[in-house]
């Protein structure tokens, strides 16, 4: 379904540039309010991360919802998965998240959750877009919506996270470092992990509206790795600005990415007899993870890049576990969306169950070298339609056989052809990636 404003993960962009402006978000709040009012009665939750523009957009959305006659419950700073959880348990009409996730402070965005705590269906987003493009009206004064702050939101979500691991797990004696990316988990994550018994060292928990994701968090875990080594911690946990991504660091300071974490959780579920369906990854999921899962007797299915597509495939194939190498991990047996805190707790529980440290657990799969080369293009091109590109790609695939993989795709957001080659031999992979990128350049006349 073609959508005018909504992308794969809501509406996102640079603050002050359409559509991420105060007047557009006022209209968006009103349009969403009209749709939710038609769907039935009830309030809408509004939460945000810690970027400075969140205040402006929270007010704009609240005004639009009020004008449409819809009550609002304001959550303040709250992780995206926390808003999904509260939307479901409080039986709200919908949940609205003001966040640009792992992006810098000068970006922002809006995404929605349904009453089930999942992304809105396409047809609801389409209805909202239709209202956005129609004149804004205000309900009679007697029917205007009301807004209240929900003061116990953080406490509710903290208890939910803790309940995602059995109470027999006491992490006393485990020293961990948490990097909150100066984002929405700053007042949540330290409490969760200390209340399950761990000794917690916290970094990236002093948001000022401008430092969210700035050289910290899941997209920049190097500072976390250094802190883990400095404190001789057992592990490190890096979350992103809105708390739906997780990257970890083992006691040696080595970074453990989303693919490795998904493998660890999958093996844990398999050993406990709780694994159901395939694991869903994406086109970028490392081939080493696929081979590692195969040895466990677990199939991997690849979706398009984006958690929305991972969720669709999980539903289609009745799976409980999926995600991306970037650290967006979905444990559907525990919650309804990607959740960095809950995913980290699952890994810690497996460490305790197995008696192994994180370094030992991740060594169960061999991550293959993966080289990505971006080729700029001045014209729109589909690599699948070019005979010369396809011939070059097939030649390399034949040479790699079962020990490697080639992926060519046009970027959906930039004028780029993304060339990815992975395999067991790093030098060979690098050579093939550069060779294929050169052939792509020739074919498009770059």
| 431-443 residue pLDDT tens | 999 999 999 998 8
pLDDT at 126 over 80: yes
Query: pLDDT tens digits for 329-376?
Result: 999 999 999 999 999 999 999 999 999 999 999 999 999 999 999 998
Higher pLDDT, 221 or 417: 221
At 7, the pLDDT band (50, 70, 90 cuts) reads: confident
Residues 334 and 342: beta-carbon distance below 8 Å = yes
pLDDT at 311 over 70: yes
Q: Which two tokens stand for residue 306?
A: 């984006």
| Domains 11-150 and 157-362 are alike in CATH topology | yes
State percent of the chain over pLDDT 70: 98
Pick the CATH number of 370-444 from 3.40.50.720, 1.10.3720.10, 3.30.310.50, 3.40.50.800: 3.30.310.50
pLDDT at 143 over 90: yes
At 3, the pLDDT band (50, 70, 90 cuts) reads: confident
pLDDT at 150 over 60: yes
SS3 219: coil
Which top CATH class is 157-362? alpha beta
pTM of the model: 0.93
What phi, psi does 22 have (nearest 5°)? Answer: -60, -40
Q: What is the mean pLDDT of residues 265-292?
A: 96
Return the CATH number of the domain spanning residue range 11-150: 3.40.120.10
> Where are the domains positioned within the chain?
11-150, 157-362, 370-444
pLDDT at 177 over 70: yes
Q: Read out DSSP for 48-76?
A: E-S-TTHHHHHHHHHHHHHHTT--EEEEE
Told to judge if 101 belongs to the known catalytic residues of this protein, a careful annotator would answer yes
Do the strands 175-179 and 199-203 form a parallel or antiparallel pair, or are they unpaired? parallel
Catalytic residue among 101, 114, 268, 392: 101
């Amino acid at each position: 379904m073609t959508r005018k404003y909504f992308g794969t993960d809501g509406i996102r962009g640079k603050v002050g540039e359409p559509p991420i402006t105060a007047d557009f978000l006022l209209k968006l709040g009103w349009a969403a309010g009209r749709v939710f009012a038609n769907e039935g009665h009830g309030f809408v939750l509004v939460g945000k991360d810690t970027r400075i523009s969140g205040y402006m957009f929270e007010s704009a959305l609240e005004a639009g919802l009020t004008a449409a006659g819809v009550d609002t419950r304001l959550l303040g700073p709250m992780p995206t998965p926390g808003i999904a959880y509260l939307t479901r348990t409080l039986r709200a009409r919908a949940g609205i998240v003001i966040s640009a996730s792992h992006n810098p402070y000068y970006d922002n965005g809006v995404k929605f959750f349904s009453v089930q705590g999942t992304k809105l269906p396409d047809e609801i987003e389409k209805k909202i877009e239709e209202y956005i493009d129609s004149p804004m009206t205000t309900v009679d004064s007697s029917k205007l919506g009301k807004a209240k702050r929900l003061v116990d939101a953080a406490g509710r979500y903290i208890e939910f996270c803790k309940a995602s691991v059995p109470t027999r797990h006491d992490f006393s004696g485990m020293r961990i470092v948490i990097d909150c990316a100066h984002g929405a988990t700053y007042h949540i994550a330290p409490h969760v992990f200390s209340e399950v018994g761990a000794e917690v060292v916290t970094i990236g928990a002093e948001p000022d509206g401008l430092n969210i994701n700035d050289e910290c968090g899941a997209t920049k875990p190097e500072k976390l790795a250094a802190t883990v080594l400095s404190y001789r911690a057992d592990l490190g946990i890096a979350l992103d600005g809105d708390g739906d991504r997780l990257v970890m660091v083992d006691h040696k300071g080595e970074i453990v990415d989303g693919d490795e974490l998904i493998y660890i959780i999958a093996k844990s579920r398999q050993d406990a007899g709780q694994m159901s369906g395939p694991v869903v990854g994406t086109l970028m999921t490392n081939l080493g993870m696929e081979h590692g899962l195969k040895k466990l007797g677990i199939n991997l299915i690849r979706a398009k890049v984006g958690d929305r597509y991972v969720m669709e495939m999980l539903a289609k194939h009745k799976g409980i576990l999926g995600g991306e190498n970037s650290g967006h991990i979905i444990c559907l047996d525990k919650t309804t969306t990607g959740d960095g805190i809950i995913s980290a707790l699952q890994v810690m529980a497996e460490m305790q169950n197995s008696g192994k440290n994180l370094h030992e657990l991740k060594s169960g799969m061999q991550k293959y070298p993966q080289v990505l080369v971006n080729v700029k293009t001045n014209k729109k091109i589909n690599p699948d339609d070019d005979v010369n590109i396809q011939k070059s790609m097939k030649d390399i695939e034949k040479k790699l056989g079962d020990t490697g993989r080639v992926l060519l795709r046009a970027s959906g957001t930039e004028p780029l052809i993304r060339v990815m080659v992975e395999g067991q031999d790093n030098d060979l992979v690098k050579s093939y990636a550069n060779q294929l990128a050169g052939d792509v350049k020739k074919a498009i006349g770059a």
